[in-house]
Amino acid sequence: MESLAVVFLAGLVVGYFVLAGCDIGLGMLMPYLARGSAERRRVASAIAPYFLGTEVWLVAAVGVVAAAFPELKSAVVVQQWPVFVALLAGWLWRDAGLWFRARVDARRWHGFWDAAVVAGSWTLALCWGLVLAALLGGTAFSVFGVVCAIAVALLFALRGAAFGAERLVPADESAVVPPHPLPTARAAAAVAPGSAAAPVAAAASPAAPVAVSASAADPAESADVAAQATRVLARAALGAVVLAIGAAVLSGGTAVGRPLSAVVVLTVLVTALASTSGLSGPRWSRHTSALAMAVPPLLVASAVELPGLESEPATLALVGAGVAPLLPVMVIGQIWLYRILRRPAVASGFFA
């Protein structure tokens, strides 16, 4: 019964990391992917309301820990309370930014809450990295803790870039203007401005200024930038993972009690990141980034002997009877939400 409860808890945490990596990572990359106000609205629209479904998994995991494994809650949360306070603050700031940014149509108002989304997303990613480092035997201010936090943050950013490459494509592909000007535009530009033929050439090529202005505001630019960023982020994350492993070895070891399981899980992570950093990385990043995001909780669940995983059979039966029936509902609801939101994000709506 205890093993089943641990597997159930691990599944909830893995589901949260894989799904939350999309909205947290995209929020981290907002300044890089969205330069104009319209692009920032599309990024906010891509994140929301997707983040509402992912937080259900975290709430369910916290409920299982509090009800079935109170000693684990004390061992993890109490010892790392500053990190969890910062994590909660980042969570609240990020969600407040998403809820409030569209309530007032003012540039400064949007800028303030966009900054809250970015800062909250980075805080969430880094704090989850510090929590992972603590569960693996490190501390927040050690070299291993810092490098581990950076590695996890890069995994979140990679997942967000892969999500953005899918959600930030233009709603109508036929509306995308090619990045190069039309031949008539080149012909009009070749005519000297002072010549008599200039007005004739300009009148004969009315599409020239339209093509140039449309290409300057290409709605597919954010998706292209996100897709290109997946390779860079995968390489950076791979380097950070290698550094974290080296820091763990040099620091005298970690709390890993099952080294073979750790090696297997880390091999999966390295393989996923290496395949994403190649030429075909953007094409496979949707799946490889999800696999990479699942590794941190799987590493803890499979290789670390966590304290406080013992519980009374009656308690486990009660928690299982109350929570287990909700899992199929959560899975079906998440699939339904994804199928609705897999369409390209729009620049208008409640959250935009």
Give how many domains the chain has, as a whole number: 1
Residue 128 lies in a domain: yes
pLDDT of residue 244: 93
Q: What is the DSSP string of 115-138?
A: HHHHHHHHHHHHHHHHHHHHHTT-
Residue 86 lies in a domain: yes
Residue 143 lies in a domain: yes
Q: Are 87 and 127 in contact (CB under 8 A)?
A: yes
What is the b/e burial string over 192-228, where b = at least 16 CB atoms within 10 angstroms of the residue's CB? Answer: eeeeeeeeebeeebebbeebeebeeebbbbbbbbbbe
pLDDT of residue 324: 75
What are the pLDDT tens digits along the chain (352 aa)? 567 888 888 999 999 999 999 999 999 999 999 888 888 998 998 898 788 889 999 998 998 888 888 888 888 888 899 999 999 999 999 999 999 998 998 999 999 999 999 999 999 999 999 999 999 887 877 899 999 999 999 999 999 999 999 888 876 644 444 444 444 444 444 444 444 444 444 444 444 444 433 334 555 688 899 999 999 999 999 999 999 999 888 877 667 778 899 999 999 999 999 999 988 888 999 999 999 999 999 999 998 888 777 777 777 777 777 777 887 888 888 888 777 766 677 666 667 6
CA dist list (Å): 299 to 127, 171, 263, 350:
17, 39, 9, 38
> Any idea what the CATH number is for the domain that residue 307 is in?
1.20.1630
pLDDT of residue 152: 98
Q: Are 2 and 310 in contact (CB under 8 A)?
A: yes
Indicate the burial class of 101 (C-beta count within 10 angstroms; 0-12, 13-18, 19 or more). buried
Of 105, 118, 116, the residue nearest 37 (C-alpha):
105
Distance CA 330, CA 52 (A): 12
pLDDT of residue 5: 80
pLDDT of residue 352: 64
Which residues have CB under 8 Å from 13's CB, separation 6+?
57, 61, 297, 301
Judged by phi (left if over 0) then psi (alpha if -120 to 50, else beta), residue 137 lies in: left
Angle at 196 between CA 190 and CA 202, to 5 degrees: 50
Distance CA 157, CA 153 (A): 6
pLDDT of residue 219: 58
Judged by phi (left if over 0) then psi (alpha if -120 to 50, else beta), residue 349 lies in: left
pLDDT of residue 348: 65
Claim: this prediction has a pTM higher than 0.75:
yes
Q: Are 294 and 271 in contact (CB under 8 A)?
A: no
Residue 193 lies in a domain: no
Residue 214 lies in a domain: no
pLDDT of residue 206: 44
Residue-range definition of the domain harbouring residue 127: 2-171+219-341
Distance CA 121, CA 157 (A): 10
Residue 347 lies in a domain: no
Of 40, 202, 9, the residue nearest 114 (C-alpha):
40
Residue 16 lies in a domain: yes
pLDDT of residue 187: 41
Q: How large is the angle between the packed helices 259-276 and 281-303, nearest 10 degrees?
A: 170
Angle at 125 between CA 36 and CA 249, to 5 degrees: 135
Residue 178 lies in a domain: no
The full length of the chain comes to 352
